[in-house]
Structure 1
Amino acid sequence: MSHALSVVKVGGSLVADRARLCRVLGGLADGADGLVVIVPGGGALADAVRATQAALGYPDSLAHRLALDAMAGMARVLSALEPRLTVTEDPAGTLASGRVPVWDPSALKAGRPEIPETWDVTSDSLALWLAVRLGARTCLLVKSTDPVPGAGPAELARAGLVDAALPSFAARYSGAIVVRGPGGDRTCRPGIAERAA
């Protein structure tokens, strides 16, 4: 896979700002961030899973799988908002065909030993997991709020801006991690090439 690739997680919280969400999706479809694979956040669909689990008390492993379904649902919502995006379980193949993929993570419901099935892992960490698998140079997390300048993965997790598992997933990823809030991009951690310069 091309190292110019970026994995872009589009936070489900952007649903609250339809105009910004559509601008973000349009920009990604236009190639404003180069070659990208989009990872959808679960948004309100994942929140419904949390609320239902709290009410009924089913196990985290089931909640994790239902949250993956929520992400798959949001992938379809994003492609409905921006028809140039293609929902796929095979983002590499979709890129090879010249289309802009929105990742459907449904295949992860079979389980992966490196992905804990708890609420500590959300679409933030799964975006980093996918970035490692695809050899992406950058993992961009598009959020509805701006991070504190200079915050690294651990600080972002403590502030609740990313999930609790993100620091451990970040430790396995050598690329740049960037958070894009309404105020613009903030580099959370530069990639190896930038650190060596």
Structure 2
Amino acid sequence: MRQPLSVVKVGGSLVADRARLCRLLGALADGADGRVVVVPGGGGLADAVRAAQGALGFPDPFAHRLALDAMAGMARIFAALEPRLTVTQDPAQLLAAGAVPVWDPSALKAGRPEIPESWDVTSDSLALWLAARLGAQACLLVKSVDARPGAGPAELARLGFVDAALPGFAARFPGAIVLRGPGGDRLCREALPECAA
């Protein structure tokens, strides 16, 4: 029987704590969370896109594509920090080979009707999109701060803890959604019955 799959989004804000980031990436490569696909946040690279858009006024769809490039850059940084991780646009292929993939979302620059090209969608929502696409049993969102206990997707979006589009993506993902901060894991939503069966 195949081991369950989790998609683990590693927030780009974790670069501010190199020791925690390296421990986390090492643990994922070691299999501490089982079979995983790592989704990188855009971190400071995405922040630079926001700043440039604010200064120059280019449209959101172009900013969205640049933010995907920021995530791709962070994927390569993660693999440089933990060489057992492998950057890929096709995580399913690497999973089949037994590798630990770090997702490069560059292929999404061609556009997908179900993914709005705006700042409402960040790596949080994209991790849920990928988790649904891969049939993952869980999606872990690793953050640099802890979430409010018991908060669901809509409240987390309202508080700015996750992006505005996440509740919609969460509604289409039947697995468990777990928030992992410095204080440990907090269940955002258990697996829905059709996923848990």
* 1:164 counterpart SS class: coil
Alpha-carbon distance change, 7 to 196 in structure 1, aligned in 2, over 3 angstroms: closer
C-alpha displacement of 1:33: 0.1
Unaligned runs of 5+ in 2: none
- Residues 1:33 and 2:28 are matched in the alignment: no
Q: Is the 8 A contact 1:3 1:137 kept in 2?
A: no
Task: Sort the Cα spacing of 1:59 and 1:3 in 2 relative to 1 into closer, same or farther, 3 A.
Answer: farther
Whether the aligned pair in 1 keeps the contact of 2:7 and 2:36 (CA below 8 Å) is: yes
1:176 aligns with 2:181: no
Alpha-carbon deviations, 1:149-173, whole Å to 9, x = none? 0000011111111101000000101
Q: CA deviation at 1:6?
A: 0.1
Query: What is the count of residue pairs matched by the alignment?
Result: 196
TM-score by length of 2: 0.97
Instruction: Say whether the 8 Å CA contact 2:5–2:137 is kept in structure 1.
Output: yes
Task: Name the amino acid aligned to 1:96.
Answer: A
- 1:94 touches 1:101 (CA, 8 Å); kept in 2? yes
Deviation at 1:193, TM superposition (A): 4.1
For the residues of structure 2 that align with 1:35 and 1:196, how far apart are their CA atoms? 17
Maintained 8 Å contact 2:137/2:195: no
How has the CA–CA distance of structure 1 residues 116 and 194 changed in structure 2, closer, same or farther, with 3 Å as cutoff? closer
Q: Distance in 2 between matches of 1:192 and 1:162?
A: 20
Q: More deviation in 154-163 or 114-123?
A: 154-163
| 2:146 aligned counterpart, secondary structure | coil
1:47 corresponding residue in structure 2: 47
When residues 187 and 84 of structure 1 are mapped into structure 2, their CA distance, relative to the original with a 3 A threshold, is same
Query: Partner of 2:146 in structure 1?
Result: 146
- The Cα of 1:196 is off from its aligned counterpart by 7.4
Task: Work out the percentage of aligned pairs sharing the same amino acid.
Answer: 80
* Aligned CA-pair RMSD: 1.5
Deviation, structure 1 residue 98:
1.1
Encode CA deviations 1:56-90: one digit per residue, 9 max, x unaligned. Answer: 00000000000000000000000000000000001
**Contact 1:3/1:135 (8 A) holds in 2:** no
Are 1:79 and 2:79 counterparts?
Answer: yes
Contact map agreement 2:141 2:179 (CA 8 A) in 1 = yes
Structure 1 residue ranges without an equivalent (≥5): none
TM-score normalised by length of structure 1: 0.97
